[in-house]
């Protein structure tokens, strides 16, 4: 374990311990499950339920990031690999008391030729790179067993995570694609989310400024 990884783990542990408003895990799980069931009843289309869960997560993520940055005092990450480490070791730990395993994939050679100024300055070469979050435990999925109809319909039960990641990273000038690759609820061996960096977003310039 690298020094940075140990540091991130320590920060995540401290943030979780310092939270005063910890929610009961079982209540959290049952509440989320009820939400998913309601969406299924409302839309009667599992692909649409996936979209709605992602959209809800996005709105949550755009708000959570402010709390996360204020409480963690984290600065800008040096590269997209470090982004993955911070999300797993600090972000998930601080809010859900879990630490997914992170694996990294470099950007395709062609994608690494990106040049020019961006909100992340010299990090433009990270565009196209990705990381995967592999969950040994998933509090949203406790006590859950998907019916055959949901499996056949392609439901990603915990798709809210993907929206949270997209919304939070967009607020710090990173456009990403976050998608489920596998889920033990669907009979897979692992639960994995892949997060790919699409581009860095420019800082918004106030109207009238050059």
pTM of the model: 0.83
> Among 177, 85, 86, 163, which Cα is nearest to 127's?
177
Highest mean pLDDT among 26-30, 67-71, 113-117, 142-146: 142-146
In this predicted model, what pLDDT tens digit does every residue of 4-39 receive, in sequence order?
Answer: 666 655 654 555 456 655 556 677 888 999 999 999
Calculate mean pLDDT across residues 111-115. 44
Calculate mean pLDDT across residues 76-91. 90
Going by the DSSP 8-state scheme, the letter that residue 44 receives in this structure is -
Spatial neighbors of 166 by CB under 8 A, at least 6 apart, are 54, 57, 58, 61, 176, 177, 178
């Amino acid at each position: 374990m690298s020094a940075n990884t140990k540091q991130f783990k320590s920060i995540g542990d401290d943030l979780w311990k310092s939270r005063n408003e910890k929610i009961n895990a079982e209540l959290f799980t049952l509440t989320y499950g009820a939400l998913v069931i309601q969406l299924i009843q409302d839309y009667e289309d599992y692909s649409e339920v996936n979209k709605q869960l992602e959209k809800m997560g996005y709105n949550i993520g755009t708000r959570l990031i402010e709390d996360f940055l204020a409480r963690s005092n984290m600065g800008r990450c040096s590269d997209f690999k470090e982004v993955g480490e911070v999300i797993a070791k600090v972000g998930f730990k601080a809010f859900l008391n879990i630490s997914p395993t992170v694996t990294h994939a470099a950007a395709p050679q062609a994608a690494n030729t990106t040049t020019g100024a961006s909100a992340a300055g010299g990090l433009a070469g990270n565009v196209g790179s990705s990381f995967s979050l592999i969950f040994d435990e998933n509090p949203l999925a406790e006590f859950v067993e998907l019916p055959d109809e949901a499996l056949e319909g392609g439901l990603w039960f915990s798709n809210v995570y993907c929206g949270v990641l997209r919304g939070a990273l967009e607020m710090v000038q990173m456009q990403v694609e976050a998608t489920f690759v596998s889920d033990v609820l669907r009979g897979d061996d692992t639960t994995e989310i892949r997060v790919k960096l699409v581009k860095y977003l420019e800082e918004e310039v106030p109207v009238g400024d050059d």
